[in-house]
Amino acid sequence: MAAKLLRGKFGTALPPEPNLTDWTALIETNLPLWKAAKIAAEDGPNVLIATAVGGLSAISVLESLLAVALTLRGAKVHTLLCDQVLPACLRISQATVAESILENYQLPQVLCKNCFATGQYLFNPLGLTHHVFSQLLSEAERQQAQQISKTLPLGAIPTYQIQGWNIGEHAYAGALRYFASGNLENEPQSEIVVRRYLEGALLTAFATHRLLQTYNFQAACFNHGIYSPPGIIGEVCRAEQVAVANWSVAYRKRCFIFSHGDTYHHTLLDEPVETWQKMPWTEKAEQSILTYLKSRWQGTQDWIWFHEQPDEEMDRIAREIGLDLSKPIIGMLTNVMWDAQLHYRANAFPNMLSWVLQTLEYFSKRPDLQLLVRIHPAEIRGTMASRQPLLPEILKVWPELPNNIFIVPPESQVSTYAAMMHCDAVIIYGTKTGVELTSMGIPVIVGGEAWIRNKGITLDASSPEEYFQHLNKLPFGQRLDADTLQKARKYAYHFFFRRMIPIQCMEPVQSWPPYAVKFDNLKALSPGADPGLDIICDGILSGNPFIYPAEELGIELNS
pLDDT in tens, 524-543: 999 999 999 999 999 999 99
513-534 burial, b at 16+ Cβ within 10 Å, e below that, comes to bbbbbebeebebbbeebbbbbb
Q: How confident is the model at residue 90 (pLDDT cuts 50, 70, 90)?
A: very high
For residue 105, give the nearest of 91, 92, 93, 87 by alpha carbon: 87
Q: What is residue 450's predicted lDDT score, i.e. its pLDDT? A: 86
How far CA 405 is from CA of 24, 91, 351, 367, in Å, comes to 58, 38, 21, 9
Domains along the chain?
14-246 (3.40.50), 274-498 (3.40.50.2000)
**Is 509 within 8 Å of 1 (Cβ atoms)?**
no
**Is 175 within 8 Å of 190 (Cβ atoms)?**
yes
Q: What is residue 174's predicted lDDT score, i.e. its pLDDT? A: 94
**Is 413 within 8 Å of 394 (Cβ atoms)?**
no
SS3 494: helix
**CA dihedral sign, ordered 275, 278, 283, 284:** negative
**Is 57 within 8 Å of 512 (Cβ atoms)?**
yes
Q: What is residue 372's predicted lDDT score, i.e. its pLDDT? A: 98
- Return all residues near 448 (Cβ < 8 A) that are at least 6 apart: 335, 340, 344, 346, 347, 348, 349, 352, 355, 428, 429, 430
Q: What is residue 382's predicted lDDT score, i.e. its pLDDT? A: 66
Q: What is residue 13's predicted lDDT score, i.e. its pLDDT? A: 37
For residue 290, give the nearest of 559, 557, 2 by alpha carbon: 557
Q: How confident is the model at residue 309 (pLDDT cuts 50, 70, 90)?
A: low
Q: State mean pLDDT over 220-240.
A: 96
Looking at residue 226, the DSSP 8-state letter turns out to be -
Q: What is residue 16's predicted lDDT score, i.e. its pLDDT? A: 43
CA distance 44 to 37: 11
SS3 260: strand
Q: How confident is the model at residue 7 (pLDDT cuts 50, 70, 90)?
A: very low
433 CB-contact burial (10 Å; exposed 0-12 / middle 13-18 / buried 19+): buried
Q: What is residue 558's predicted lDDT score, i.e. its pLDDT? A: 45
- The answer, yes or no, to whether residue 155 has pLDDT greater than 50, is yes
pLDDT in tens, 235-255: 999 999 999 999 999 989 899
Instruction: Tell me what the pLDDT averaged over the chain comes to.
Output: 91
CA distance 262 to 206: 20
The residue type found at 126 is L
